[in-house]
Amino acid sequence: DTAVSQTPKYLVTQMGNDKSIKCEQNLGHDTMYWYKQDSKKFLKIMFSYNNKELIINETVPNRFSPKSPDKAHLNLHINSLELGDSAVYFCASSQTGTGKETQYFGPGTRLLVL
C-alpha cells in the first residue's frame, strides 16, 4: 500500500538517450512535485503540479518535461540525457488547503548517465 511510488527505482542509460520516470500517489492529494538530489545530497525543487496544472517550473533545462495525465500521476520525461543529469529524482505529493500539507515522498529514482 505504498503512498507515493516511482518507477523505475534505478535507471542506467547512455548520454543522448530519452527516458521517462513515472510517479503515482494513492493519497488523493491534489499537488505533486519533482525534486532533484545531486551527488552532494542537495535537494532542489524542479516542478510542481496542482490538479494537473503546472505551478512551479524552476530553472531546469527544457530537456526536462513533466506530464500530469491526472491528479494521481506526475511523470518526468528527459530528452537528450547528459552526464550532469545523474542524480536521484524524488517525487512527492501533498494536499493543499488542509493546514497540514505534509509532503510525502516517493522512494526516489537513481539515474546514472554514462
Partner 1 sequence: AQRVTQPEKLLSVFKGAPVELKCNYSYSGSPELFWYVQYSRQRLQLLLRHISRESIKGFTADLNKGETSFHLKKPFAQEEDSAMYYCAPRGSQGNLIFGKGTKLSVKP
Contact, 80 vs 73, CB < 8 A?
no
| Preceding peptide of 61 cis, ω within 30° | no
Query: Residues 32, 68: contact at Cβ < 8 Å?
Result: yes
- Shortest Cβ distance from residue 5 to partner 1 (Å)? 10
Nearer to partner 1, 19 or 110 (CB): 110
> Which listed residue (15, 44, 79, 82) binds partner 1 by CB under 8 A?
44
Binding-site member from 11, 29, 31, 111 for partner 1 (CB under 8 A): 31
Site for partner 1 in 80-109 (CB under 8 A): 90, 92, 94, 96, 100-108
For the bound state, the minimum distance from the C-beta of residue 18 to partner 1, rounded and expressed in Å, comes to 26
Confirm if 81 and 16 have CB atoms less than 8 A apart. yes
Rounded Cα distance between 33 and 85, Å, is 18
Q: Least distance to partner 1 from the beta carbon of 101, Å?
A: 7
- 41-57 CB burial, b ≥16 within 10 A, e <16: eeeeebbbbbeeeeeee
Binding positions for partner 1, rule: CB under 8 A: 4, 31, 33, 35, 40-45, 48, 50, 55-56, 90, 92, 94, 96, 100-108
